[in-house]
Each structure stands twice: as C-alpha cells, then as structure tokens.
Amino acid sequence: MAIPIVMPRLGDFMTEGVLTRFTKNAGEEVKQGEVIAEIETEKVNYDLESTDSGIFHPTVEAGETVMVDAVMCYLLKEGEEPPAVLEPQEIITERRATQRRNNRGASTAREGTVPSTPGARKLAAKLGIDLSEVTATGPRGRIVESDVRNHSHNQTPDSAVLPGLPEPTEIVQLSGMRKAIASNMKNSLSNTAQLSYFMEVDVTDAQSQRRKFGCGLGDVIIKATADTLNKVPLLNSVLKEDKLLKFNQINMAVAVALEDGLVVPVIQDIGNKGLSEISESVKDLSDRARNGLISPDELVGGTFTISILGVVDGFTPILNQSQVALLGVGRSVQKPVVKSGEIQIREMMTLSLTGDHQVIDGAVAANFFRRLQQAIERPTNIFK
C-alpha cells in the first residue's frame, strides 16, 4: 500500500509550508530515516526525515506552498502504482481553494476550469494573474506555482496597474518566511482589538548592577517582566475563539531578528528561573536561531512575548496570534530627569505594551506597568 508523506505541522498556528526541494528524484529508493524534503515555514527551515522506506513518487512541485497534512509524495513498493484518487488531505486543500475562488466572485471563479494546483491558484490570485495566460509545465498539464512565478517575472510592468511608478529594476519574490510573517501579522490585526500603552522607566541602577553581574540589560528586563507576570497573571493568557486560557506557567517568547525575517523561540517556565539561567537561555536560543539550528519544538507554546529593539526609542509591536499581550523594549538613552527635587542625568528607556482590548483593559495594563516599573527601577530582587 502506498505510504503518504504529508506536510507536517511545525508550530501552533502553522497552516501551510513551502516545499523548498525534494532530496530524491521520482523512482529513486528512499530509506527510513533519510532526509526526503526541505521545508520552509515562517519560523524555521526544516529537514523532513522519512518514517518509512519505499520508491519515491512526488505529488507536488518544489517551490509550492502546501497545506498542513496535504500529501507531498508517496513511498511505493516495487511495481506499485500511485493512488489515482484524491486523498482526504488533498480534498480538503481543493475544497479550501474552491471556497476562496467563490469568495473572489464569478470572474475569478472561471479560472477553476484551468488545470492547476491549489498553490498556483493562490499565488495567481495574489499577483492578479489570469491562469489562462500561464504556460503549464506540471504533471498532466497542470499549472504549478513555479509556472505562475515565471509568468510574473516575464511580464512587463503595466503602467495601468502601477500608475506613476517607474519601471522596477528588480522584482523579488517574497520568501516563504516573509510571506508567512506578513500573513500572520495581518491575521493578528484583523482578529484582535490591539491597543498599545507606553511608559518611560529609569534603568540607571539596573545598568550599573547588570554590569557587575555580567549580563545584558535585556536579560534584566526579561526577568523583571517574568516576575511581574507572576503578579498580574491575566497578561499570561491565550485567547482561543471565545475561551480565555489562563496559565500559571510562564513561557516567554523572545523575538530574534534574522536577515530575512524573525523567529520567536520560547523559554519554558521562565517564572521559576533566576537571572543567570535566563541570560544563558536567551544567548543560547538567539545564537542557534541566527544559525538556523533552532528546532520546531522550541518555537511553540509561548504564553507571552517580548520584543527588544534596541536601536529605536519606542514602537508599537503587533501581538503574536492568540496571545493577549506583548512587551516592546526600546533603547536606553541618557536624559535630564527631575529626581529628589534635582535635575539629574539618568538612563531612561521606553517600554510599549500591546494588549488585546478584548481581554486587557486600561486598568490592568496600568497595574502591570506600575509593577514592572518598580521591578526595574528597584532591581535588588532581580539580582538575588
């Protein structure tokens, strides 16, 4: 019996992934444990290992976007023919594609008569390309994603489509990670009532003590945030449809910038960790994330996110999907401040808290900020 290999779910909210390439050609033998495909998501590049042995038979093209649980290839026995009917996963994919076409109206729905893969139809709709004008190179005359991309690259920019713009010097296809980040951010803004609050905190004493301790200021802010979440636990929650999931355990997601996007590895149970352990975890996860060595298991399960952007004064971060709060951390700068009736030069930092107003009201945000400010400006407990 043919063994299907499907697109794995590599994250809490992953719905699709990009098949970067297969490592085998059609008809070649695959052994159990061999890497059979390279997959790209918004968070990681992942080598998919085969769970069985057999003769390799692909069902999608490299470069295609594949829905989670959709079949990418089969492993066959010697002389066995691949299934001729749609598998349940493919039916789901086709059904979703049909729904999207129907939603776009009758003119777009007519494109359904052109043999094409769901990924090709999705990309064509995004780029505004008529599939009837695309040359097909896929199996059985189907249009695949690479056909749509090639058609897009070969087109001359239309001044009617881009009024007033000069001819572009280059057209760059967004990567799977970049596209997925864009989709997640839009979904986050569409499905939540986001409101940001700002507070300036004095980090002069924290800077002095962290230098003696041998850690970064970001580590201090992360530790102070974890301690504050223990006191204001509502922010350590996840909203799933009409249910609010509250947690005693704090799993802190820490945003790490990459060349072509960002990943958000999670420090599990950070509320029970000391500053030294937090500092080591942040460095380890950040280094491995930048070198592409982070595992999918380390990118899921976050209950609260912190984003440190140390080159700007402040910003309005967008919530991680389903989480109800996120803390943005700006740079520290020296400013004249009135303290004890005198003007002093102090190191100040702007913090920005984005909350889902469906759950987090202003009074709750203010209580969190007040306690966080106390923890940072009187950091004795942090360095115990």
Cβ atoms of residues 370 and 224 within 8 Å: no
Write b or e for each residue in 187-210: b if 16 or more Cβ atoms lie within 10 A of its Cβ, otherwise e: ebeeebebebbebebbbbebbeeb
Cβ atoms of residues 330 and 314 within 8 Å: yes
Lowest-confidence segment of 19-23, 139-143, 171-175 by average pLDDT:
171-175
Tens digit of pLDDT for each residue in 167-188?
888 777 776 677 778 888 888 9
Q: Give the per-residue pLDDT at 105.
A: 42
Q: Which two tokens stand for residue 375?
A: 């923890």
Q: Which two tokens stand for residue 211?
A: 């230098």
* Mean local confidence (pLDDT), 336-342: 94
Q: How far apart are CA 137 and CA 284, in angstroms?
A: 45
Half-sphere exposure of residue 209: CA atoms within 13 angstroms, side-chain side: 18
Determine if the pTM surpasses 0.95: no
Q: Which two tokens stand for residue 22?
A: 């297969």
Lowest-confidence segment of 136-140, 317-321, 348-352 by average pLDDT:
136-140
Domains assigned to the chain: 89-155 (4.10.320.10), 192-383 (3.30.559.10)
Cβ atoms of residues 151 and 172 within 8 Å: no
Q: How far apart are CA 174 and CA 184, in angstroms?
A: 15
Q: Give the per-residue pLDDT at 16.
A: 82
Say whether 176 sits in a helix, a strand or coil: helix
Cβ atoms of residues 184 and 321 within 8 Å: yes
Give the Å distances, CA to CA, from 113 to 17, 59, 98, 289.
26, 20, 11, 43
Q: Which two tokens stand for residue 160?
A: 């009617």
